[in-house]
């Protein structure tokens, strides 16, 4: 009888230890539920990011209207101040006008010079996005 009792307490102790070491929250059902919740959260966050990127893009588009609309828009410093990193070549051309000199580099990206290498310039990366510029 004493042996059965010891055997019972040994099993009971084993089950208690298992419940402490492996709590219910790591059972496969709970993990699947947590994964689904995280996937839903990621989807919601991606939607928020997409909306915020849209707002930022619209804001940037409204800021790219050049102040001076002469053929030499690059001569006005106010237009240079409208530039922002990450702008496309199209956006930069809308602000500064067509560059008189372009040095193409397929490895690093192009450099546009206004009016030549002695003046201001706009540097683009391989994805044709503005990375830096020097005003005249």
Q: What are phi and psi of 67, to 5 degrees?
A: -75, -45
Note if the bond before 31 is cis, omega within 30 degrees. Answer: no
- Give me the count of residues in the chain: 136
CA–CA separation, 34 vs 40, rounded Å?
A: 10
pLDDT of residue 102 exceeding 70: yes
Check the CA dihedral 46-48-52-54 and report its sign: positive
**pLDDT per position as a tens digit, 111-133:** 999 987 678 999 999 999 999 99
CA–CA separation, 52 vs 90, rounded Å?
A: 22
Q: What is the pTM of this model?
A: 0.51
**pLDDT per position as a tens digit, 69-87:** 667 888 888 899 999 999 9
Cα–Cα distances in angstroms (integers) from residue 126 to residues 12, 97, 110, in the given order: 67, 21, 8
pLDDT of residue 109 exceeding 90: yes
Closest CA to 110 of 121, 118, 119: 121
């Amino acid at each position: 009888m004493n042996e059965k009792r010891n055997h019972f307490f040994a099993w009971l102790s084993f089950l208690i230890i298992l419940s402490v070491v492996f709590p219910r929250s790591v059972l496969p059902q709970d993990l699947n539920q947590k994964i689904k919740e995280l996937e839903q959260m990621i989807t919601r966050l991606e939607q928020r990011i997409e909306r915020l990127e849209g707002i930022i893009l619209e804001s940037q588009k409204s800021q790219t209207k050049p102040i001076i609309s002469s053929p030499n828009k690059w001569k006005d410093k106010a237009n240079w101040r409208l530039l922002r990193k990450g702008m496309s070549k199209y956006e930069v051309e809308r602000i500064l006008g067509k560059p008189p000199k372009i040095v193409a580099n397929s490895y690093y990206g192009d450099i546009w010079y206004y009016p030549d290498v002695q003046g201001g310039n706009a540097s683009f990366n391989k994805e044709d996005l503005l990375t830096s510029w020097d005003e005249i």
